[in-house]
Amino acid sequence: MSTTATHCPYCALQCAMTLDPDSAAAAAQGFPEVRARQFPVNGGGMCRKGWTSAELLAHPSRLTAPLLRGPDGVFQEVSWDTALDRMAGEFRTAQHRYGRDGVGIFGGGGLTNEKAYQLGKFARVALRTSRIDYNGRFCMSSAAAAANRSLGADRGLPFPVTDLDDAHTVLLLGSNPAETMPPFVQHLQHAREHGGLIVVDPRRSATARMTDDDGGIHLQPTPGSDLVLLLGLAHVVLHEGLADLEYLERRTTGVEAFRTSVSAWWPEQVEQVTGVPAERLRRAARRLARERRGTYVLTGRGVEQHVDGTDTATAAINLALLLGLPGAPGSGWGTLTGQGNGQGGREHGQKADQLPGYRSITDPAARAHVAGVWGVDPEELPGAGIPAVELLTALGTEGGVRCLWVNGSNVVVGAPDTAAVTRGLQALDFLVVCDLFLSETAEYADLVLPVPQWAEEEGTMTNLEGRVLRRRRAVDPPPGARDELWIMAELARRLEAPGIFSPDPQEVFAELARASAGGTADYSGIGWAALDAGEACYWPYPAGSSTGTPRVFLDRFGHPDGRARLVPVRARAAGRAVDPSPRAHRREPLHGPGTLTLTTGRYLEHYQSGNQTRRVASLHGARPESRLQIHPATAAALGIRDGAAVELTSARGRAVALARLSTDIRPDTVFLPFHYAGDRTANRLVSSDAVDPVSSMPEFKAGAVTVRAIDPEERTR
Ligand SMILES: Nc1nc2c(c(=O)[nH]1)N[C@H]1C(S)=C(S)[C@@H](COP(=O)(O)OP(=O)(O)OC[C@H]3O[C@@H](n4cnc5c(=O)[nH]c(N)nc54)[C@H](O)[C@@H]3O)O[C@H]1N2
Ligand SMILES: Nc1nc2c(c(=O)[nH]1)N[C@H]1C(S)=C(S)[C@@H](COP(=O)(O)OP(=O)(O)OC[C@H]3O[C@@H](n4cnc5c(=O)[nH]c(N)nc54)[C@H](O)[C@@H]3O)O[C@H]1N2
Ligand code: SF4
Ligand SMILES: [Mo]
């Protein structure tokens, strides 16, 4: 009777679920019963994380009161008034001392649209700081930059997921949905049965294994060489006359410069750089070009989280354009968005250079429009801030942020070079963290504020298809928790901020819709009533529209001339251009002798920094340890046995893990999950020195490490 229809708290698939707090099972377990609900994206399925998500609602280590660090360094529970007075006071002091940019905000792609929007507004209007960015910078920024540059708009999947149900050929680049979005795999079934699943991954991942039967193709390049692989696929398509010339003529610009840019990349040259056999590459290209309708190109973090991630994502779009896929019925290009609200979270102003509706903060017309909605003078809005890596590396320094509010991220585990991040957090004058649990980041805070969880709040989320969904409250939050909209309203009052900061999510959504009007991500026609009625609200959904836009780009691309751009991109290794000439066709070794390439990623059972899933008993039980996936031949050469303790060392630091020998990985590559804390943290090894020049994405997927067996005693907690 009292069941609530909502969506999973975790990833961007946003599987539909029903929560029942009153069933017999709920009474027995002490938290709501979770049931999967029929919905197009999940087809009634869910993964283990979704099934166990409600366990955290009643978790004993939930934060239930504001915690202020006392002079003795110990957290003490304080009242909300004390906490907010202090927070507002610290903001004021830091801005008085260091200027407006002395205060910064770090948001997250898991926040509802309302919270993400209000956070961006709070930064620009209440604090007037430019220093705001968020963890989506580590996630979707390369794919977003590429889509904006090539297609003029960034909606992760520009078509409904269910369009894939009819696909006969799907190229999946650096994406492992069998572990990262298990119910999504049902949409690949048709392609799989037709021998058309092509997976590009240096590991024989759970997804790559799906190509084993039915004649699919697994291409296993060395990490970070995907750009070359894509140039090679484009070369074959052009050389063999398989490009869709009519489409290129009608819908794109730049084809001639593009042709020149790939001309040297014969499959044999590509093989030298990537290790992918030339014939397999040709086979993949021919399969992709077989029939336009039913063919899709999709990317994931494996190709995007690199210093050349934007160019690699661009190369994937270029290939799709050559084949005539984007915006053509029954075919397309897309990227699989990651976090629960990774799509909506990148549209409404958490990003350093952005205003709501996917507008640019440097565009005078956008500033005027949004300032009008906010009731402030456009002159008062700050300019563009700095991206996450820069923001985090300058914490506590001259000219850097001195007082930081982290809301929806666990940077001590999820950000690159965690030792440097930790030093930065310690150098701050004041750190506030809002979270559900005392995360590794919150442990460094001066003030920790407890917020409600997904099933305790109302709001909206935008899933990986750009479809806006309702998140609904099924149970009350713990008495001491307060949601961020209320927190921002209280702070705005204390800071005497202009404009309105409503604590009511429905009011905030209505304002967001107005602020987004006329922007790329236009929500102005979406009302909560339509969302509650279960309508499929895909953006752009301008006021007056009755359907929104399930498929963008059908008639035109987002650029003013309506055409897509073929953007020529060049292959680089470690910052140096790769020479495709036959004489120099070996790629410069990325790393010195004795080093292995470290790539990082995910386990099915854990979510991101693990702050949530490491607390779920059955998930922790299934994956209690970080395991280094290493090829048996490599392990043998290093004297490493299966299950042995190992230490990884990079230029940045060291981390420990247990070895898992597996022939599913290239001998030159090792894989580590990034879900673990302390000395297991993979990001202790990841550098923040080099970032993608366009997106500021760090290199998460191709680092240089040495590995050695260690005495189990050395593997301390
Ligand atoms: N279980 C689980 N699911 C999740 C999440 C989670 O933490 N846990 N997080 C969510 C989020 S935020 C995101 S962004 C998505 C991410 O979803 P995915 O993109 O699927 O996740 P990853 O495991 O990071 O990377 C995918 C694959 O890329 C491969 N790879 C590594 N380096 C390279 C390379 O250089 N080239 C190529 N071609 N492949 C490479 C890895 O071996 C891995 O199998 O997952 C979402 N879903
Ligand atoms: N080495 C390596 N590093 C990576 C990646 C990789 O592949 N390899 N992937 C990157 C990617 S794709 C991503 S998305 C990032 C994620 O990086 P993180 O930001 O570290 O990810 P989460 O663990 O999701 O952190 C979210 C935090 O917010 C809390 N939280 C949840 N809901 C709410 C809410 O409503 N309000 C508030 N205030 N807090 C909430 C959670 O408890 C958690 O502590 O990691 C990146 N880091
Ligand atoms: S696939 Fe994603 S949305 Fe679906 S149940 Fe798993 S974590 Fe939740
Ligand atoms: Mo992500």
**Does residue 608 come out as left (phi exceeding 0), alpha (psi in the -120 to 50 range) or beta?**
left
Atom of ligand 3 nearest to the CA of 182: 1
Mutate to test the pocket of ligand 2, among 7, 138, 391, 438 (most ligand atoms within 8 A of CB): 138
Q: Show the low-confidence residues of the chain (pLDDT under 50).
A: 574-577, 579, 581-590, 717
Secondary-structure breakdown of the chain: helix, strand, coil percentages, each rounded to the nearest 5: 35, 20, 45
Class at the top of the CATH hierarchy for domain 591-716:
mainly beta
pLDDT tens digit string along 646-702? 999 999 999 999 999 999 999 999 999 999 999 999 999 999 988 999 999 999 999
Nearest to 383, CA basis, from 344, 352, 339, 422: 352
Question: Is the peptide bond between 378 and the residue preceding it cis, with omega within 30 degrees of 0?
Answer: no
Domain spans in the chain, listed from the N-terminal domain onward: 4-58, 67-135+341-451+483-506, 141-335, 591-716
Does pTM surpass 0.95? yes
Q: Is 262 exposed, middle or buried (0-12, 13-18, 19+ CB in 10 A)?
A: buried
Helix (H) or strand (E) holding 274: helix 267-274
Domain 4-58 indexed as CATH 2.20.25.90: yes
Measured distance between the N- and C-terminal CA atoms of the chain, rounded to whole angstroms: 47
Contact 635, 618 (CB under 8 A): no
Residue 50 Cβ contacting ligand 3 at under 6 Å: yes
Q: Is 60 exposed, middle or buried (0-12, 13-18, 19+ CB in 10 A)?
A: exposed
Closest atom of ligand 3 relative to the 51 alpha carbon: 5
Residue 291's pLDDT is: 97
Evaluate whether the domain defined by 141-335 bears CATH number 3.40.228.10.
Answer: yes
Give nearest CA residue, ligand 2 atom 33.
Answer: 408
- Rounded distance from Cα 691 to ligand 2 centre (Å): 19
Residue 716 tokens read as 């301390």
**Per-residue pLDDT, 593:** 63
Q: Which atom of ligand 1 is nearest to the CA of 47?
A: 1
Element (H, E) at 6: strand 4-7
Distance CA 366, CA 357 (A): 9
For 355, 459, 622, 668, the CA distances from 606, given in Å and listed in that order, are: 32, 25, 10, 26
In whole angstroms, how far apart are CA 541 and each of 109, 196, 431, 436, 617?
21, 34, 38, 33, 42
**How many A from CA of 704 to the centre of ligand 1?**
19
Q: Give pLDDT, residue 573.
A: 58
Give the three-class secondary structure for 654: strand
Instruction: List the CATH code of the domain at 67-135+341-451+483-506.
Output: 3.40.50.740
Residue 2: the pLDDT is 87
